[in-house]
Chain A
Amino acid sequence: KAGVTQTPRYLIKTRGQQVTLSCSPISGHRSVSWYQQTPGQGLQFLFEYFSETQRNKGNFPGRFSGRQFSNSRSEMNVSTLELGDSALYLCASRADSTYEQYFGPGTRLTVT
């Protein structure tokens, strides 16, 4: 099976812009979770989508949003970008009724 894929791998945006990141889970996985990794805060949970519904949400401002499509692919959007949003954004998928999450390679977002 192909692993989790994320596009794009690298992005450079300026403050105030918005960005959309994409994630395709492992075939058959219906759950997709998103995480942000920064040097200061480490790996932090953003949100989880399951069957097109947001099921869990982390402690991030409303500028961070996401959605999931019927084929389980997911997108996350960050509006009004701030310098502090520069990070590696990771998505992970898992099979139903399991807790092991499998991560994609991440999207490196740089905000200037």
Chain B
Amino acid sequence: DQQVKQNSPSLSVQEGRISILNCDYTNSMFDYFLWYKKYPAEGPTFLISISSIKDKNEDGRFTVFLNKSAKHLSLHIVPSQPGDSAVYFCAVGVNAGGTSYGKLTFGQGTILTVHP
């Protein structure tokens, strides 16, 4: 039973255009959400996060949107660059008084390819 789903295994985008990566979750108890970028044989790199009290968070070219009613999370990358080509994972967690911050549940990942 997958609690976090990234339904698009891959996404191909032209350099300079917008990349939109999507993530759906099933448990309304999740209250913090993160995006990671990963290259093969490396650990995930933290990109951006959002808590359930917000619906948008921006950091440079990266913006995360949260739609709690739809249980949907998205990452927008504008403009996309060839160096953004990697696997992107969404991850979610539950805050049980701060003691559960250490446990993240990950989606299966989306391979983003940005063409020059």
Contacts and interface: CB of A to CB of B under 8 A. Distances in A.
A94 B41 contact: no
Contacts of A103: 36, 43-46
Interface string A41-67: 011110010100001101000000000
A24 interface: no
A106 B42 CA distance: 6
A50 B41 contact: no
Interface residues of B, number: 27
A42 B102 contact: no
Interface string B25-55: 0000000101010000111111001010000
Given A42-B109, A99-B32, A104 B102 contact: no
A80 to B, nearest CB: 25
A40 to B, nearest CB: 10
B104 A45 contact: yes
Contacts of A4: 43
12 contacts: A32-B102, A33-B104, A42-B106, A45-B103, A56-B100, A56-B102, A90-B43, A97-B101, A99-B49, A103-B45, A105-B41, A106-B42
